[in-house]
Structure 1
Amino acid sequence: MLVMKFGGTSMGSASRLKTIVDLIKEKRDEKPVIVVSAVSGITDALIAAAYDAVHGKVDLSAIERKHQEILEALGTDSSTLKPYLNELKAELQHIAGFARLSPQLLDNVVSFGERLSARMLSLYANSQGLATRAVDSFDVGMITDTRFGKAEVLPQSYIELNKQITAMVNEGKIPIITGYIGKSKGGQITTLGRGGSDYTASIIGAAIRASEIQIWTDVNGVMTADPRVVREAKTVPLVSFDEASELSYFGAKVLHPKTILPAMQHDISVRVLNTFDPKNPGTKIVRNIPGEKSIKAIAFKKNVTLITIKSSRMLLAHGFLHQVFKIFYEYEVSIDMIATSEVSVSLTVDKGKDLEGAINDLKQFSEVKIEQNKASICLVGEGVNANMGAVQKIFNTLSEHQIQVDMISQGASEISFGIVIDSEKTDKAVKALHKIFFEVEQ
């Protein structure tokens, strides 16, 4: 079996759905299992509708119109979507009646994006001679905890997903499964966090021991840099799981950071492909690439916060780092990069995190310096940390462009080298580094 996941832009128009159906037909002999995101823009529209409902406004017209326009352009009757739209309207009226919005209620509302898109694709695919069945992931075994908005999939999901999906395929059906959503043991709808449809695809791929997991998006695979910043960015044809994980974690937008994990654990290759350019071979992600030692790509995150913690009182004291990490854990603040010295600990976190409680606790035993509007840049490739020539090139290039480095972080895995700079200089730095590593004759 083959997993094919189609993202929001891939689902965003009638022409794109035609392409998807053609791609499914090409892979019919490989027993495809389809995973879909909501139509591009619909998740945001559903979130806005939920918050509008708190203030008494219930309006689904734009959401309904978007799906109707796509199906009408395909010559397909949209009436099958009506029960789901009615159910969504009832959810919003419920929110309006209580004038409040809990994370659980928000997950209920947002889940309709994928539920509608799965039915829409199935309707059109069936009209084109395919035997598909649209199903919600929670109806085929996607069981999660109750951390609404960022739920974790429970281990028992894998057995049930295998059983249910394999049975459908053996019946001659092509499953079209909702990404991003699940249900708790108690039957409450949950979401896996933004971008979680990729994670769904990987979990399903691992559960059914797929031959490959394909992530269909709007770029030609993993790029040497963000093509919106670097026009000369190129597709990387082959990367390792570790390299892909580092790139996604440090800001590459192609993959959800969790996507790689289930695939890696079961040694299933992941291929990133472009629905807008389906003949492009894209990027293949495999467990390892023997003998490969080169920088593959540059990833970055803008608007991160740099925190420096100094404590002469606890300098070299047993348990100092443990205490620091415990505080961030208790406040659910994820650390991106970290660097330590004899006198301080520096680390970065994403902007928008509520840091007040963590900072107050840290100040009980240390001096804390907060620097906003920073950016983290990460160069990823097997052996980058051991390549002194590459490290020297990084600093020479940044120096030539008068870009100050505020922090250096070398990954323990030896496949990433990270720096922190002022956010406003990110594009300049990425372009300069890309030129020296990927555009100049080596």
Structure 2
Amino acid sequence: MINMVNCVHKFGGSSLSSSERYQSVAKIIIGHTQTGDCVVVSAAGKTTDTLVSLWQSYQQQDTQAVADILLQLNNHQSDLIEQLLEADLKRSALKTLSIELSYIAELAQAEQLKEAALLAHGELWSARLLATYLQQLNIEACAQDARTLFILNDGELMHAQNAQQCGQLILPNKINVVTGFIAADIKGETVTLGRNGSDYSATLLANYCNAKQVCIWTDTQGVYSTDPRKVQKAIKYGKICRGQANLLARLGNPVLHAKTLSPLKNTDIKLAVRSSFDVQASPTDIVKEGSAKKKRFITTLQNVDLLMVEGLSEGEVASVSQLIQHSLHHFNHNGEVYLVVPAAQTYLVINYFAGRANISESNLNGCAIVAPEQDVNTLSLQALDLLKLHSIKPRFVHQDTGYALLLTDQFIDSDIQS
């Protein structure tokens, strides 16, 4: 199969949080893309959170709050348009925005608002504004609504049909600015791809377009041994293998999500994580298993529950992960099967298993050590000694191939991690 697209780039909300950030992203696109490439975008800044607040106010029938939040959205989007666009492009963008916000207000009044369709506006606004700004800079660009590219039937992506759609709609003579996070069902209704859905949109698109690589531009410089915002001595890695990246994702590491990595399985598509705030910084490449030495990581866990599940199958883990939009980690310990679940989702997960799941331990914090197999035992013992030194008693300890879980009552803060 020919490579239709060289690279799919993805920019998150923090990379598009102001007009200056849009300008920086445009510079990155000019320097790092070629015609036919795709740029997947999230909603600008905190737009999704604002739209979620709007939906909540609508559900509570708080008409005043709905009106206030619509005004807030209008001000934010209008400011971006005013600061980035000129003349006819600006007038046209402001007019379109005004029509859309009026329509949302009408739907709210008629009690016909739908959650996914409402949330989709964040990405639509980002894609349209970035594409128009690039056109203003004389770059051949177009905005693409992913609801025409990603179709789901009964919650499952229709891969063959979607690849065909992408083949027809992704334009080889333009930079294609594509909405992240959103898709459509077979009836044409909007659906969302869940938490961190835009990263997933980027890797799906790369798979469907047979791209050579995916570049996720974010607010950190790559993947570190631990959270660099909390631990000064965190080490940045140039390469990590997909297996460790997957394990970290399942254990809640926020840089990459397991769902993001799944479309790359059994492909040669390269994945890089880079900083949109420091373009000169080298990326972290996520490479095929065996192409990089295994590294050492500490990732913290906050407010999780440990569930014991009878007769758990791999397929069920995937289904329940999809249900709660969070990749879950499961393991065997003393003959029992356990699931690590974010506490906020426990109720849903227990319901899903209909009497087969029980809470073994609740309200846990702690950390996971991910490391080469031969180092796990030593690092785990060192970590336990350190916790003892800080009078932190583990409630549950599990050691496995390539990782150890140390679950405690207290949150493990940065001075202990370092």
Normalised-by-shorter TM-score class: 0.7 to 0.9
Q: Answer yes or no: is the 8 Å Cα contact 2:36–2:176 preserved in 1.
A: no
User: SS where residue 113 of structure 1 aligns?
Assistant: helix
Q: Quote the residue 2:190 is aligned against.
A: 189
Measured at CA, do residues 5 and 242 of structure 1 come closer, stay the same or move farther in structure 2, by a change above 3 Å?
Answer: same
Q: Quote the residue 1:378 is aligned against.
A: 368
Q: Quote the residue 2:73 is aligned against.
A: 63
Distance 1:326 1:294 in 2: 30
Q: 1:3 and 2:8 equivalent?
A: yes
Measured at CA, do residues 260 and 48 of structure 1 come closer, stay the same or move farther in structure 2, by a change above 3 Å?
Answer: same
Q: Quote the residue 1:298 is aligned against.
A: 298
Measured at CA, do residues 234 and 356 of structure 1 come closer, stay the same or move farther in structure 2, by a change above 3 Å?
Answer: closer
User: SS where residue 344 of structure 2 aligns?
Assistant: coil
Output the amino acid matched with 1:427.
D
Output the amino acid matched with 1:62.
Q
Q: Answer yes or no: is the 8 Å Cα contact 2:127–2:179 preserved in 1.
A: yes
Q: Quote the residue 1:223 is aligned against.
A: 224
What are the superposed Cα offsets for residues 296-327 of structure 1, whole Å, 9 maximum, x if unpaired?
A: x2222201123468xxxxxxxxxx5359x979
1:270 Cα deviation from its structure 2 partner: 0.7
User: SS where residue 355 of structure 1 aligns?
Assistant: helix
User: SS where residue 194 of structure 1 aligns?
Assistant: coil
1:245 Cα deviation from its structure 2 partner: 1.4
Output the amino acid matched with 2:15.
S
Measured at CA, do residues 328 and 203 of structure 1 come closer, stay the same or move farther in structure 2, by a change above 3 Å?
Answer: closer
Q: Answer yes or no: is the 8 Å Cα contact 2:241–2:287 preserved in 1.
A: yes
Distance 2:349 2:55 in 1: 29
Distance 1:397 1:308 in 2: 28
Q: Aligned residues: percent identity?
A: 25
What are the superposed Cα offsets for residues 120-150 of structure 1, whole Å, 9 maximum, x if unpaired?
A: 11111111110100110122x2112355xxx
Distance 1:392 1:21 in 2: 48
1:93 to 96, 100, 106: 106
Q: Quote the residue 2:153 is aligned against.
A: 145
Q: Quote the residue 1:35 is aligned against.
A: 40
Q: Answer yes or no: is the 8 Å Cα contact 1:220–1:280 preserved in 2.
A: yes
Output the amino acid matched with 1:69.
D
1:279 Cα deviation from its structure 2 partner: 0.9
Measured at CA, do residues 230 and 44 of structure 1 come closer, stay the same or move farther in structure 2, by a change above 3 Å?
Answer: same
1:159 to 153, 159, 163: 163
**Residues 2-401 of structure 1 aligned to structure 2 (within 5 Å):** 2-29=7-34, 31-54=36-59, 55=61, 56-57=63-64, 58-59=66-67, 60-76=70-86, 77=90, 79-98=92-111, 105-139=114-148, 141-147=149-155, 152-166=156-170, 168-169=171-172, 172-290=173-291, 292-295=293-296, 297-307=297-307, 320-322=310-312, 335-341=328-334, 346-353=338-345, 355=347, 358=350, 371-383=361-373, 387-401=376-390
Q: Quote the residue 2:413 is aligned against.
A: 427
User: SS where residue 279 of structure 1 aligns?
Assistant: coil
Output the amino acid matched with 1:107.
A
Q: Answer yes or no: is the 8 Å Cα contact 2:240–2:293 preserved in 1.
A: no
Calculate the TM-score normalised by the size of structure 1.
0.81
Distance 2:209 2:317 in 1: 39
Measured at CA, do residues 74 and 353 of structure 1 come closer, stay the same or move farther in structure 2, by a change above 3 Å?
Answer: same
Give aligned pairs, total.
402
Distance 1:285 1:357 in 2: 30
Distance 1:219 1:241 in 2: 19
Measured at CA, do residues 399 and 267 of structure 1 come closer, stay the same or move farther in structure 2, by a change above 3 Å?
Answer: farther
Measured at CA, do residues 357 and 173 of structure 1 come closer, stay the same or move farther in structure 2, by a change above 3 Å?
Answer: closer
Q: Answer yes or no: is the 8 Å Cα contact 2:241–2:290 preserved in 1.
A: yes
1:94 Cα deviation from its structure 2 partner: 2.1
Distance 1:63 1:391 in 2: 48
Distance 2:352 2:292 in 1: 48
Output the amino acid matched with 1:379.
I
Q: Answer yes or no: is the 8 Å Cα contact 1:243–1:382 preserved in 2.
A: no
Unaligned 5+ runs, structure 1: 310-319, 436-442
Q: Answer yes or no: is the 8 Å Cα contact 2:47–2:122 preserved in 1.
A: yes
User: SS where residue 418 of structure 1 aligns?
Assistant: strand
Distance 2:283 2:317 in 1: 41
- RMSD of Structure 2 on Structure 1 (CA): 3.1
1:388 Cα deviation from its structure 2 partner: 3.3
Q: Which region of structure 1 is more displaced relative to structure 2, 44-53 or 22-31?
A: 22-31
Q: Which region of structure 1 is more displaced relative to structure 2, 397-406 or 262-271?
A: 397-406
Measured at CA, do residues 326 and 119 of structure 1 come closer, stay the same or move farther in structure 2, by a change above 3 Å?
Answer: closer
What are the superposed Cα offsets for residues 211-263 of structure 1, whole Å, 9 maximum, x if unpaired?
A: 21000111111121122322332322110111111222222212233111112
Measured at CA, do residues 23 and 298 of structure 1 come closer, stay the same or move farther in structure 2, by a change above 3 Å?
Answer: same
1:73 Cα deviation from its structure 2 partner: 2.1
Q: Answer yes or no: is the 8 Å Cα contact 1:339–1:408 preserved in 2.
A: no
Unaligned 5+ runs, structure 2: 1-5
Distance 1:228 1:390 in 2: 22
User: SS where residue 158 of structure 2 aligns?
Assistant: coil
Distance 1:15 1:339 in 2: 49
Q: Answer yes or no: is the 8 Å Cα contact 2:146–2:183 preserved in 1.
A: yes
Output the amino acid matched with 1:79.
S
Q: Answer yes or no: is the 8 Å Cα contact 1:88–1:109 preserved in 2.
A: no
